[in-house]
């Protein structure tokens, strides 16, 4: 059985992309107030213990937290590392035959991946464009409408905000977050938040993150 891990807004978007019959249900710390359209199966712990389905394959739908970084999502991915990962390519996405999309990733409706390499557990969200010869690491989240021009490299656990534009040939390091609408014209070599046109480092103090009781963030 294919199971969604998470029951929030991104889970609903994944169901729209994958179709109503691909996933048998979802797990979360509690039943979602706005269910994603498939049955609630139980908690993460019940799936991890094999109580729900010892042969389940999973797709992680936990999104970004409020600091526009991916610590919580990465922790959930690590928890389910022993499970087979389900890849979702939406029916209205365009993925070239020369592209590689890693296990557990999602390419949403209207997105374009053109002769690029996308790592494991990435999200190429609605209407985003990943152009030729781009290389994305694992757990990279490209938000709706973002544009990665040719030969962009993005490290693991990086976030590219909605409508951001990354100039061709730019490298973005692991753990960096690019704010929505920003324009990146130079390499980013230090993790943290970058915003503006051109994008500049924004000092932000993040508090230590733990897994919340309800992950609908």
Active site members: 132
Place of tokens 């922790």: 75
DSSP-derived 3-state class of residue 142 = strand
**How far is the first Cα of the chain from the last one, in angstroms, to the nearest whole number?**
25
CA distance 24 to 26: 7
Answer whether 172's CB lies under 8 Å from 154's CB: yes
Does residue 179 have a cis bond before it (omega within 30 degrees)?
no
Does residue 201 have a cis bond before it (omega within 30 degrees)?
no
Query: Alpha carbon 56 to chain centroid distance?
Result: 20
Going edge to edge, which strands form the sheet with 147-148?
A: 94-95, 112-113, 129-130, 147-148, 165-166, 183-184
Supply the DSSP string of 163-203, one letter for each residue.
T-EE-TT-EE-TTEEE-TT-EE-S-B-S-EEEETTTTEEE-
CA distance 166 to 172: 9
């Amino acid at each position: 059985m294919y199971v969604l891990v998470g029951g929030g807004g991104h889970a609903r978007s994944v169901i729209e992309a994958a179709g109503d019959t691909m996933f048998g249900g979802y797990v979360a710390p509690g039943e979602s107030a706005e269910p994603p359209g498939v049955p609630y199966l139980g908690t993460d712990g019940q799936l991890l213990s094999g109580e729900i389905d010892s042969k389940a394959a999973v797709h992680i739908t936990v999104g970004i937290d409020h600091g526009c970084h991916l610590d919580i999502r990465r922790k959930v991915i690590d928890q389910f590392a022993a499970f087979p990962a389900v890849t979702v390519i939406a029916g209205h996405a365009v993925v070239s035959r020369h592209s590689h999309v890693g296990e557990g990733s999602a390419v949403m409706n209207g997105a374009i991946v053109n002769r690029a390499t996308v790592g494991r557990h990435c999200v190429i969200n609605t209407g985003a464009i990943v152009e030729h010869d781009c290389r994305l690491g694992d757990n990279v989240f490209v938000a709706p409408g973002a544009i990665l021009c040719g030969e962009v490299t993005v490290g693991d656990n990086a976030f590219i905000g909605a409508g951001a534009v990354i100039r061709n040939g730019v490298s973005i390091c692991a753990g960096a977050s690019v704010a929505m609408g920003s324009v990146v014209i130079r390499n980013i070599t230090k993790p943290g938040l970058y915003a503006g046109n051109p994008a500049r480092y924004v000092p932000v103090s993040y508090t230590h993150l733990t897994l919340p009781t309800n992950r609908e963030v």
